[in-house]
Structure 1
Amino acid sequence: MLNYRQLHYFWVTARTGSIARASEQLNLTPQTISGQISLFEQAHGITLFQRVGRHLELTESGRRTLTYADQMFQIAGELETLLRTSPDEQPVLFRVGVADMVPKSIVYRLLAPAMELERALRISCREGQLDRLLADLAIQRLDLVISDSPMPSHLDIKGYSQKLGESGLSFFASPALARQLPTAFPACLDNAPLLIPGQDTMLRSRLLRWLAEQQVQPQIIGEFDDSALMQAFGQSGSGLFVAPSVIAEEVCRQCAVQLIGQTDAVTEAFYAISVERKVKHPGIVAITEGAQRALFTASI
């Protein structure tokens, strides 16, 4: 069994950087803290600190232990706050999973209405692959998953998809690359370096089909499952990249890139996936109503 008091003494010492500062914070003598940490080390057969000159440095065992201790005492602090707060004053936890390919600007705009509710929400966001997020949704580790595709039919998971909206597609390039493009859009895409979404995204096949219909053949130099990473490469001038037209102005401003062209023939849709057919969570209600009222008004 862990001795949590000894672990706490180690944690405070590691966070403050010295036994002397830990003793001041804990209002204990340095000898008490040092002795308790030694007992903890002996009980588990490890060494947590090594002395380098006048300073203490964490060993590899100490660094691993600190990682877990950070999580444990953070949760303990949250629990203490929770127990001291009346139920009506406690924020509602809203756990949201976000598929990698959903642009961060879209995510922020979708979540913004939930943060403006009279009842305070504490939003916890996780980003990852859709299959993993849906698995966590199924066991109620998440309340909602925001994705660029509805619930896949091949997964044996109970879930309901609600389309939040869709947007046409815009093409962007760094100023230097934009100056090299010879003709008007979309002809300028022919033989141009292009960054595209990865194979697991819904947008990829639509985009490639549209390019073929336009009789242009860009040089595909990168495929990305993460929209932010694709934008970072595009911002550096590696190639043209795409993003939903609904955030075109924001992409130009934040990435310092130029808008090359737009099309509504290729659309990217966004979905809210939950385990409830009739949504009750106030955060989900705020997101769906906000998307229909403002973000995707023209395209739903």
Structure 2
Amino acid sequence: MELRQLKTFATIAKLGSFVQAADKLGYAQSTITNHIRIFENEMGVRLFERLGHRVILTDQGKSLLPYAEQVIKLTSEMTKIVANPDIPQGTLTIGTNESLGTYRLPELLQEYRRVYMEVEIILKFVNCDAICDDIRQNKIDVGVIINNKVWEKDIIVEDISREQMLFLAASNHPLAKKKRVKTSDLVETCVILTEPGCSYRSTIQKIFEDLRIIPQSILEASSIETIKQLIMHGLGISMLPRFTVEKELNEGRIYTIGWDEPIPNYAVQVLYHKDKWISPTLNAFLNMMRNSYWDVESKNKIRR
């Protein structure tokens, strides 16, 4: 089959008329009829019922129409890309974690869509432990994570900003009232952890293991918003990036625990495969990330 036959088929299905389809496509009616005859012979089915002046799709025609439309659409997109190789277009698939996808990326993606309206953006929440494998399998074009420095031979990693991590509690939590919280104080509290595979969880667990701390109890939640609610209801303490709780800190609903041990700061990092073709679409996103305001903002907050 040929593309012109698919276009003829889809146009007749839309207009319900051979005559109108011939006029729209600029063909003679005999050419339109020949396109459909050849297509029907190749498919081995009747595509249209001709009832008087009406042309109606058969059941087989209805089944084939979505596929024909998809082929026409993809061919059109392919032609555009070839005709405009330097213009961002097509699809960009971004893998990130919940905190960045909720608090950091929306504003940047809004600006990206404003400038590059032809690009379809797919945002996937990916566990930090799985991000590199998804990049290797080409499930995502680029990853944006907050974590300790990632070192992988086949993955290019660019630091975007440093982010301050905080131990947090409700305003009425016993630890929030202490000027300095000692290691022994953590034994008497509940610790709220993110889901397995999340960088925040592994950091807290390493801190506790290194200091040989066994908390009184543990709560686990997969959502940052849920963790914040658990903290504010006094159910335990947790560790999160400052930017996820900025609003609650300003309102006094969540307090920073004055712990007397160092808390590691994380880096927001952009990851992509070393052999990945840096298309105009991907390159435009990388440049926006590199020029984001986060770095200055995060440095100022860490300095305070």
TM-score by length of 1: 0.55
Instruction: Give the gaps of 5 or more residues in structure 2.
Output: 50-54, 177-184
- Which of 262, 270, 273 is matched with 2:271 structurally? 273
User: In 2 relative to 1, CA 116–19 (structure 1 residues): closer, same or farther, beyond 3 Å?
Assistant: closer
Q: Give the conservation status (yes or no) of the 8 Å contact 2:22–2:32.
A: no
Q: Give the conservation status (yes or no) of the 8 Å contact 1:170–1:245.
A: no
Q: What is the correspondence of 1:119-138 to structure 2 with a 5 Å cutoff?
A: 122=119, 124-127=121-124, 128=126, 129-135=130-136
User: In 2 relative to 1, CA 8–245 (structure 1 residues): closer, same or farther, beyond 3 Å?
Assistant: farther
SS at match of 2:289: helix
Q: Which residue of 1 aligns with 2:218?
A: 218
- Offset at 1:149? 3.7
Q: What is the correspondence of 1:102-251 to structure 2 with a 5 Å cutoff?
A: 102-104=99-101, 105-111=103-109, 122=119, 124-127=121-124, 128=126, 129-135=130-136, 142=141, 144-149=142-147, 152-153=150-151, 156-169=153-166, 183-184=173-174, 190=189, 196-208=193-205, 213=213, 215-220=215-220, 222=221, 224=222, 230=223, 244-249=241-246
Q: Highest Rg: 1 or 2?
A: 2
Alignment partner of 1:293 is 2:296: yes
- Offset at 1:130? 0.9
- Offset at 1:6? 2.9
Q: Give the conservation status (yes or no) of the 8 Å contact 1:169–1:242.
A: yes
SS at match of 1:200: coil
Instruction: Give the gaps of 5 or more residues in structure 1.
Output: 173-177, 225-229, 253-257
Whichever residue aligns with residue 131 of structure 2, its letter is: L
Q: Give the conservation status (yes or no) of the 8 Å contact 1:49–1:62.
A: no
For 1:262 and 1:13, locate their aligned partners in 2 and report how far apart those are by CA, in whole Å. Answer: 67
SS at match of 1:27: helix
- Offset at 1:271? 0.6
Q: Give the conservation status (yes or no) of the 8 Å contact 1:168–1:263.
A: no
Q: Which residue of 2 aligns with 1:227?
A: none
Root-mean-square deviation (Å):
5.8
Q: Which residue of 1 aligns with 2:182?
A: none
User: In 2 relative to 1, CA 59–202 (structure 1 residues): closer, same or farther, beyond 3 Å?
Assistant: farther
Q: Give the conservation status (yes or no) of the 8 Å contact 2:88–2:119.
A: yes
SS at match of 1:218: strand
Q: Give the conservation status (yes or no) of the 8 Å contact 1:97–1:145.
A: yes
For 2:67 and 2:298, locate their aligned partners in 1 and report how far apart those are by CA, in whole Å. Answer: 40
For 2:5 and 2:78, locate their aligned partners in 1 and report how far apart those are by CA, in whole Å. Answer: 20
For 1:263 and 1:25, locate their aligned partners in 2 and report how far apart those are by CA, in whole Å. Answer: 75
Q: Which residue of 2 aligns with 1:66?
A: 66
TM-score by length of 2: 0.54
Q: Give the conservation status (yes or no) of the 8 Å contact 1:149–1:271.
A: yes
Whichever residue aligns with residue 287 of structure 1, its letter is: M
For 2:225 and 2:8, locate their aligned partners in 1 and report how far apart those are by CA, in whole Å. Answer: 43
SS at match of 1:199: coil
User: Percent identity of the aligned residues?
Assistant: 12
User: In 2 relative to 1, CA 81–134 (structure 1 residues): closer, same or farther, beyond 3 Å?
Assistant: closer
For 2:17 and 2:73, locate their aligned partners in 1 and report how far apart those are by CA, in whole Å. Answer: 23
User: In 2 relative to 1, CA 32–191 (structure 1 residues): closer, same or farther, beyond 3 Å?
Assistant: farther
SS at match of 1:148: strand
